Structure 1
């Protein structure tokens, strides 16, 4: 069953918050959220775009 979860806080999510939310998701549309290595490692099912991977590693 598909489910969409929205960030209703009005604030960017921290890495710790993302680490709690991302383990069970198939995709994530990021805004100004704190996406660091720990957040990415918490999302094993998420696919990334090549540009995103490049931006995070350079």
Structure 2
């Protein structure tokens, strides 16, 4: 299992991911030309940067 810091950071990561999904897909307006495809960038770019830095 892990210590308490690991669990806290894990839950913070889950909450941050959910907040990002809500902001990217619910709050951000749809782009005129690309539509929903552009909204996917709000999820993929931070994921790529996080994976690269990990």
Name the TM tier (shorter chain). under 0.3
- Which structure has more relative contact order (CA 8 Å, sep 6+)? It is 1
Larger radius of gyration: 2
Higher helix share: 2
Q: TM-score, normalised by structure 2?
A: 0.25
